[in-house]
Amino acid sequence: MEMDDHKRRRNMILYVLIAFALYLVINQVLFPSLANKQMQITQVNYSTMLSDLTEKKVEDMDYKVGSDYVALYTRIGDDEGVAYQTNVLPGAEDYLSQLIEESGANVNVDIAQNNSNTWLYLLITFGPLIIFFLLGWWLNRKMKKAMGDDNPSMDFSSGFGGFGGGGGLGKSGARIVASKDVGVTFKDVAGQEEAKESLKEVVDFLEKPERYEAIGAKLPRGVLLVGPPGTGKTLIAKAVAGEAGVPFFSISGSEFVEMFVGRGAAKVRDLFKQAKEKAPCIVFIDEIDTIGKKRDGGGFSGNDEREQTLNQLLTEMDGFDNKKGIVVVAATNRPDSLDPALLRPGRFDRRVPMELPDLAGRKAILEIHAKDVKTQPPIDLTAIARATPGASGADLANIINEGALRAVRLGRSLATQEDFEESVEVVIAGQQRKSTVLSDHEKQVVSYHEIGHAIVAASQKEGAPVTKITIVPRTSGALGYTMQVEQDEKFLTTKQEVLDKLAVYCGGRAAEELIFGEMTTGAANDIEQATKLARNMITRFGMSEEFGMMALGTVQNAYLNQDTSLTCAPGTAERVDEAVQQVIADAHARALQILRENKFKLHELARYLYKKETITGEEFMTLLKRENPFMPGAGKPQV
């Protein structure tokens, strides 16, 4: 309380200075004429006034002032604002009027009275202060009502605090959702069964805390949700609040970042103050890595505001009484960048991973989102789930929505299986670019390129079957693509499967070289993917005979772009580059050999794709396996 009084006194001084500056502005800018009308009045004898009139020195005069005969006059040649005052003797009015007329003085000009000057001065001086106070008091009442205070009283210091505090710069700005308005439960979350099981314990504690208190167990103060973007971290936090029937405070980490030093920490204090008033409740901080990054050792980072905010968050989480039932749930996709003090037991006690859903999870997510869309049976969501490995919950929701949009665009009232299958391609490769018109030669090159991928993929024993080939340009920049879909989900990949995948990446460029004897830029993405896979094979997977089981790199941002940085000597890095180059060269030679053996089929399938532009995997396999009497060596086993 003593600290609060000190801060109030300090703020009051600041507010008075601001009000004085405001007075100067109003006085000099808005009311320059009023300020100039204040006059310096000097008392003189009646004989002095008569002498000035006789010598014709008087310029203006008004001697009828109130009920008293008091004369005010100005002299010719004096400074502006200087006047003289004297009492007029009773019975001398006629003589004075004649003397004024002979002197040529102006008796009609109104000279300001002394009493009116005083009131005007007081109005100009204290008027802005009164307006300033009333405005601050009104804003303070509005903010108290917004926070749920049923008895906002008129407090002088808080009235100035409402305005001088920057209009609520110290307020957390958290969005408060009442328990009855959360509207999300665990039924609305799919594909994250392990995370739901871990969080059900938190829900049970919030509902029945006496069970845990009886045995001496304590509720986790914080739960950290980590995972890639779009996996449902915010959704499952709302589901915890909805299941427990408690209020839900939602705020983003970036909202604590302020221009003024100390405001971020003030927002943290206000957030936990509101949480204590509404306890039991859930406090959800999204993207906590914004304020929770590791602090540097020297303390010269130049970002002291962020560190103050983090320190305040650490103090609040370690200080509140958890018997009231306040659970802090935070989400991030960069857990490696968080400060260790934030992750220790007693703050974020529990870490819940929110990984990308597997095949069963993807199907469950698709079913939840498909409930809101009118569909025309039969709808096979398993096929959609199988075609989207690595898709997040947000991606799957977008696929269902894109399918519904396509149905509306084509003038139908029900979405079909074809709509959803096309939406998979829209999310992965983008919309069809109808404005892009390829020349005949370019179209032929793209056809051979994609069939080259497909033939090499079909020749692999354990490879995923080809499901679709197209040479229709897409908005992602692809002029065509070959889609492969695994029949069953795989969690492990063998060395041979990696080499097969590298050969498939090289199949497009190999077909261009074999048929046209030239290279094009169409293989840019293939080269990028092949290089990344070959480098991971050597540096991360230990699939190199030269280096063996030696980790040569570390993964940064595992939940984002998964960039790998080498952690080896420069000489070793050169040898790694040579090994990567050799692996890709071997895969390219293997792809060339496969296409030479199937050159006739390469021509036949490329011409067929050129005419139809898009073919299914079934059409491709039928033509590839069909016996052709004109093919060299037909009916004989190929060597």
Residues recognised as catalytic: 450
Residues in the chain: 639
Distance CA(312)–CA(159), nearest Å, equals: 26
Triad 298, 300, 302: Cα angle to 5°: 150
Contact 63, 72 (CB under 8 A): yes
The structure tokens 């009333």 sit at 134
Of 503, 421, 631, give the one whose Cα is nearest residue 623. Answer: 631
Distance CA(522)–CA(441), nearest Å, equals: 13
Distance CA(359)–CA(383), nearest Å, equals: 10
3-state secondary structure of 617: helix
Contact 280, 245 (CB under 8 A): no
Of 241, 112, 124, 260, give the one whose Cα is nearest residue 182. Answer: 241
3-state secondary structure of 58: strand
DSSP structure string for 61-100: EE--BTTB-EEEEEETTSPTTEEEEEEPPTT-HHHHHHHH
Distance CA(457)–CA(591), nearest Å, equals: 10
Angle between helices 93-103 and 46-54 (to 10 degrees): 40
- 378 CB-near residues (< 8 Å, 6+ apart): 417
- 572 CB-near residues (< 8 Å, 6+ apart): 552
3-state secondary structure of 68: strand
Contact 317, 309 (CB under 8 A): no
3-state secondary structure of 249: strand
- 91 CB-near residues (< 8 Å, 6+ apart): none
Tokens of 44: 């003189």
Provide the β-strand partners of residue 327: 282
Distance CA(99)–CA(71), nearest Å, equals: 14
Tokens of 200: 């059900």
How many CB atoms sit inside 10 A of residue 195's CB? Answer: 23
The structure tokens 């929505």 sit at 401
Distance CA(482)–CA(529), nearest Å, equals: 14
Distance CA(306)–CA(265), nearest Å, equals: 9
